[in-house]
Amino acid sequence: MFVLVNGLIAGLGLAAFLALGDGLFDTSTFPVLIDVSYVPGMENLPSIAELLLHLLISVIIAFFLMYFYPREDRGKRTRYLLYWMLGFAVAFLPFSLLSKVPITWTAFCIWICGHLLYTVMLSVQVARNR
């Protein structure tokens, strides 16, 4: 239940942050986050279904992030979270290309900040519930 709730909250926070960034900076990071039209059989999903799929993936990511989260050494925790952030950063390129969204530095920075927020939200909850 802990992972479900925190995965949903962090996923909604990420989606809201990216949507806000898109509105403020005229980028397209939110569509990159939820677009699954490149997956066979999912070409015509409504946006709400794509968002729900994103939230399911967020819960799965939250499970793995929290399950393997190192609790003993601050240095290990920092490295662990930086590896997750690196993975999120690298994911921007293929997902942007698959979604056919123009790649810009502004969009990349919004993507990074949003996923930093996501990672911090989850790591704070793990630290609070040790």
d(CA 15, CA 31): 10
Enter the tokens of residue 86: 């690196």
**How many domains in the chain?**
1
Please report the pLDDT score of residue 130 as a whole number.
Answer: 67
As a whole number of angstroms, the longest Cα–Cα distance in the chain is 46
pLDDT tens string 64-119? 988 888 888 888 989 999 999 999 999 999 999 999 888 899 999 999 999 999 99
Helix residue spans in 1-130 (DSSP H):
2-25, 29-34, 47-67, 74-99, 105-128
Mean of all residue pLDDT scores within the chain:
91
Q: Which two tokens stand for residue 129?
A: 């519930």
| Termini Cα distance of the chain | 15
Range of the structural domain that residue 34 is part of: 2-128
pLDDT digits (tens, 9 = 90+) for 45-59: 899 999 999 999 999
